[in-house]
């Protein structure tokens, strides 16, 4: 699993929720371009871009952005458990991933 | 013979061996430094090592769950067991029943703060919205401490162990609060264990079991140093947390060697 897939999945989920306005908001992320379908066309995506995207959406949707992102990440996790290896903010991780991340430190 | 006396003989074996020619164990231990204090100093030190281990993990991986987990150990180790041992030691040496009472009441405030941090760990996993319930733990600890200071439950040292006087409301409010906390925290931990698998499940189960022993059984079995069962309960819960915190070291040095890897 790569950050790009997470980024696009979040854009897709937010777009489903608030409509096309999700795209220009995603384009506010520095050095990233997103097409009308929510696919990344330009720029490298890593953890900091995903965090910036979530922050941008939080500015529009408030706490709702966290909930939508968490669901998006959960859907990805159900398909591919390697999501847990990515460096994502704790609050958007599904319960199982958080629990594993916590105890895997020991 | 009480476990605490056995520990005492272990610590001061040589001296006891010399003097025991003239004194029986009961005569010797009757005037000794309270084992409640000695044992709680040991628990405090062990839990401080747990704090340090988790703190180091936090330096490598700065997630809030680890920060809250090391705060649980730090506050329990210093604010609860550390302060309790120190105040009881001073109370005993000064022969002051007031300091003994304060040494029993005040540290329990920190016990609830510590438990609040353990709640923060679990709530951030399963109930992020309720993480602020931490302040309810602090408030409960504060309220019962104020109540305890007004009630001043009697605490005496008898035969080297701490003994509570007549049943007090404060003494009953502690296990009540701890039991409610344990339901929430251990329940959440077991739920996480159920949702995960492999080593994660084992570690979360150990945390849940340790929580039940620490917050419910230890108080139920009177862990303040005058019950063998209570002391064994302390051994169990502290050991469970040590195993979790030092899991990778424990696994690589013991389990893997036993398996011949």
pLDDT higher than 90, residue B66: yes
Per residue in B3-27, pLDDT tens?
A: 455 554 444 444 445 444 554 444 5
pTM of the model: 0.83
Work out the minimum CA distance from A41 to partner chain B, whole angstroms.
32
- Do residues A17 and A71 touch, judged by C-beta distance below 8 A? no
CB contact under 8 A, B195 and A103: no
Q: Is residue B48 part of a domain?
A: yes
The pLDDT of B217-226, averaged and rounded, is 64
pLDDT for the residue B248: 86
CB contact under 8 A, B200 and A95: no
Which one is predicted more confidently, B233 or B224? B233
The radius of gyration of chain B from alpha carbons, rounded to an integer in Å, stands at: 19
pLDDT for the residue B110: 97
Which one is predicted more confidently, B117 or B7? B117
Confidence of residue B122 (pLDDT cuts 50, 70, 90): very high
CB contact under 8 A, A106 and B57: yes
The pLDDT of A10-17, averaged and rounded, is 93
For chain A, give the percent of residues with pLDDT over 70. 99
Per residue in A15-26, pLDDT tens?
A: 999 998 999 999
- Do residues B133 and B181 touch, judged by C-beta distance below 8 A? no
The pLDDT of B183-194, averaged and rounded, is 95
pLDDT for the residue B58: 95
Q: Which residue of A has its CA nearest to B190?
A: A99
Q: Is residue B134 part of a domain?
A: yes
Q: What residues of chain B have any CB closer than 8 angstroms to a CB in chain A?
A: 54, 57-58, 60-61, 63-66, 69, 121, 124-126, 128, 192, 195-196, 199-200, 203-204, 207, 244-248
Q: Which residue of A has its CA nearest to B127?
A: A95
Work out the minimum CA distance from A98 to partner chain B, whole angstroms.
6
CA B74 to chain centre: 11
Q: Is residue B203 part of a domain?
A: no
pLDDT for the residue B222: 61
Q: Is residue B225 part of a domain?
A: no
**Euclidean distance between CA atoms A71 and B247, whole angstroms:** 31
The pLDDT of B229-244, averaged and rounded, is 89
Q: Is residue B7 part of a domain?
A: no
Q: Which residue of B has its CA nearest to A105?
A: B57
What is the SS3 assignment for A14-78?
HHHHHCCCHHHHHCCCCCCEECCCCCEEECCCCHHHHHHHHHHHHHHHCCHHHHHHHHHHHHHHH
- What is the pLDDT of chain B when averaged over all its residues? 84
pLDDT higher than 80, residue A46: yes
Per residue in A26-37, pLDDT tens?
A: 999 988 899 988
Domain residues for the domain of B109 are 22-194
pLDDT for the residue A11: 95
ipTM score of complex? 0.78
Q: Is residue B244 part of a domain?
A: no
CA angle B85, B209, B251 (to 5 degrees): 90
Which residue of A69, A93, A102 to mutate against B (max B Cβ within 10 Å)? A102
pLDDT higher than 80, residue A4: yes
The pLDDT of B197-209, averaged and rounded, is 93
Q: Is residue B61 part of a domain?
A: yes
pLDDT higher than 60, residue B93: yes
pLDDT higher than 60, residue B92: yes
Domain count of the fold of chain B: 1
CB contact under 8 A, A106 and B244: yes
Q: HSE on the CB side for B9, CA within 13 Å?
A: 15
Long-range CB contacts for residues A24-31, cutoff 8 Å, separation at least 24: A25/A56, A25/A57, A25/A60, A26/A53, A26/A56, A28/A56, A29/A53, A29/A56
Q: Among B54, B204, B247, select the one facing A99 at the smallest CB separation.
A: B204
From the list B57, B21, B93, the residue with the least C-alpha distance to A103 is B57
Q: Is residue B17 part of a domain?
A: no
């Amino acid at each position: 699993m790569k950050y790009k897939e997470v980024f696009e999945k979040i854009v897709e989920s937010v777009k489903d929720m608030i409509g096309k306005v999700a795209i220009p908001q995603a384009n506010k992320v520095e050095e990233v371009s997103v097409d009308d379908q929510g696919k990344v066309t330009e720029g490298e995506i890593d953890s900091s871009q995903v965090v910036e995207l979530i922050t941008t959406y939080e500015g529009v949707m408030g706490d709702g952005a966290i909930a939508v992102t968490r669901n998006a990440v959960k859907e990805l996790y159900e398909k591919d458990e390697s999501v847990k290896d990515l460096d994502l903010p704790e609050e958007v991780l599904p319960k199982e991933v958080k629990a594993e991340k916590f105890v895997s430190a020991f | 013979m009480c476990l605490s006396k056995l520990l005492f003989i272990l610590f001061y074996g040589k001296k006891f061996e010399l003097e025991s020619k003239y004194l029986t164990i009961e005569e010797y231990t009757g005037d000794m430094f309270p084992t409640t204090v000695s044992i709680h100093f040991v628990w405090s030190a062990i839990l401080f090592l747990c704090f340090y281990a988790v703190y180091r993990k936090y330096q490598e991986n700065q997630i809030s769950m680890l920060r809250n987990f090391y705060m649980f150990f730090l506050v329990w180790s210093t604010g609860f067991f550390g302060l309790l041992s120190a105040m009881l030691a001073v109370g005993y040496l000064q022969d002051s029943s007031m300091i003994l009472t304060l040494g029993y009441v005040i540290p329990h405030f920190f016990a609830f703060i510590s438990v609040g941090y353990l709640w923060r760990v679990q709530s951030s996993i399963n109930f992020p919205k309720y993480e602020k319930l931490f302040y309810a733990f602090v408030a409960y600890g504060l309220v019962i401490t104020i109540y305890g200071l007004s009630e001043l439950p009697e605490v005496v040292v008898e035969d080297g162990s701490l003994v509570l006087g007549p049943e007090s409301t404060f003494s009953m409010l502690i296990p009540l609060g701890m039991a409610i906390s344990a339901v929430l925290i251990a329940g959440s931990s077991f739920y996480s264990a159920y949702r995960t698998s492999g080593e994660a499940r084992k570690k979360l189960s150990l945390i849940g079991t340790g929580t039940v022993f620490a917050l419910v059984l230890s108080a139920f079995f009177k862990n303040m140093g005058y019950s063998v069962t209570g002391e064994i309960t302390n051994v169990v819960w502290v050991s469970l947390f040590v195993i979790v915190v030092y899991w990778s070291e424990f696994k690589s040095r013991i389990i893997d060697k036993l398996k011949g890897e």
